[in-house]
Amino acid sequence: MTLSIAFIASFIFTFMASSIVACEPLSSPSIREVASYNLDFEVAKAVVAPDGSAVALVGRAGTGALVRFGEAGVVQISTGINLPNWLGYAPDGSELWVRGRKGNFARLDPHSGQPLSGSATWVTKAGETKISSPNIGKYVLSSHGKRAKAEGRIVTDDEGRLDFDGSVFIAKRPDLLLRFRNGVLTKENKGETKPVGVMAVACDGTCLLIAADAETMDTYLWTLSPFEPNPVRIYGRIFLDGGHAALDPDGVHALLFSKNGLRRISLSHSSQPETGSRQNRVMRARLSNRYAFISEEALGWRVYNASTLTAVSKPLWLDVDQTKAVVGLNGRFSIFASISGGFTLVATPYSEIRHFDIDSETALPQFSSTDAMLALRGEGGFTLFDSKSGNKLGKIPGEVILFSPDDSHVVSIGERVRVFQTGYK
């Protein structure tokens, strides 16, 4: 199987089987195999659809397949792209895109797998607005017989939504947001397009954060619904973790980095930083509703009170070096190195669930999309555990696993492509 180095590194690690349950066993959802396919090509890239309905797979020679969850069989596709180096869906999931090493590009229907015609790289609809893209970063919007051209980055939330209170927004600059509504562009598309840094929709889809470049250290907070044409300017840069803004699950707080250190801010109209900050060199950061997870230089991951950023008292079993600790995406569960060796699965902040006697130098645990499951790789595949109870769910063969966004399905890729259904939704 041929996979990119980063893709392989995020999944390959060694699991040594001995483990101890640290609490009374609790009931856990089941996991069962519902489909298995022997493809006639070696998988190079794979991605789960943003709505969790299917998995797309492509090989080095341009062939591929769509496996739709809940349906028998696969849809064979031909991308015409040799040596693909990227596979993904359009922001709203309306198209499947494949890019080759030479810059060649293919657009496919995500349901039928048929090639999409036209010179635009993307054609979609948001409400009554039709959006097409003649090239990346430039858009033609039309509705009610009116057309407008806009340049910048289109605004979309994590679920691929493009329509915010009946409007489509394009960020031309961090401090200039173009709004297309009822066939009218609210601001003329004039002036230089300036680089837009991190951009994140928050406040349950009603506000938008746009960070400027590192030199200016500015972040702009826009209110999308109801739309306010003037943003709030905040001194500092929204902190990134793995390329994503460090927002809490409800999207009402964010971590802000400035010369004053790392602080949490409330995404209200005033957006004032809360008390407390971290002054050490912050390498990574993640935010939950009550806690901040911060990895500082030479200290590794630790848990902090989210509002004050004071450290939560660490347990005696915690190893000093936590550079290999893994924090779930929404911060409910983490896995930390133990001073006696191996890793301990915990509920935030440090409530022990289960200890795993695994080699902390080579192990790289992986949480599922909602943190509900923990995957550990061993010989012949992966062992899945319920994060809440620590109970073993089962073993899945394969070299790579992918989780659907709601964790209702798990896909393993190896000699065969296998689809598993879980009790998580």
203 φ, ψ (degrees, to nearest 5): 55, 40
Q: Which CATH number fits domain 5-422: 1.25.40, 1.10.357, 2.130.10, 3.30.70?
A: 2.130.10
**pLDDT at site 1:** 43
Nearest residue to 76 (alpha-carbon basis) of 103, 37, 48, 50 = 37
Report residue 287 as tokens: 């935010």
| Chain-centre distance for alpha carbon 168 | 22
Report residue 128 as tokens: 């009554």
- Listed in sequence order, the DSSP H helices in 359-403 are none
Whole-number Å distance between alpha carbons of 325 and 302? 9
Residues facing 395 on adjacent strands: 383
pLDDT per residue as tens, the chain (425 positions):
444 333 333 333 332 333 333 333 456 788 999 999 999 999 999 999 999 999 999 999 989 999 999 898 999 999 999 999 999 999 899 999 999 988 888 999 999 999 998 888 899 999 999 999 988 889 999 998 899 999 999 999 988 999 999 999 999 999 999 999 999 998 877 778 888 888 899 998 999 999 877 677 789 999 999 999 999 998 888 887 766 788 988 889 999 888 888 889 888 756 666 777 887 788 888 999 899 999 888 778 899 999 899 999 999 999 888 877 899 988 899 999 899 888 999 999 999 999 999 876 666 789 999 999 999 988 888 999 999 999 999 999 999 999 999 999 999 999 999 999 999 97
**pLDDT at site 188:** 79
| Chain-centre distance for alpha carbon 142 | 30
Which amino acid is located at 368 in the chain? Answer: S
**pLDDT at site 21:** 34
Whole-number Å distance between alpha carbons of 312 and 323? 18
**pLDDT at site 23:** 38
**pLDDT at site 15:** 29
User: SS3 of 258, please?
Assistant: strand
**pLDDT at site 4:** 39
Nearest residue to 417 (alpha-carbon basis) of 57, 18, 152, 30 = 57
Q: Is 223 within 8 Å of 270 (Cβ atoms)?
A: no
Nearest residue to 340 (alpha-carbon basis) of 365, 315, 310 = 315
Report residue 17 as tokens: 């089987």
Q: Is 2 within 8 Å of 44 (Cβ atoms)?
A: yes
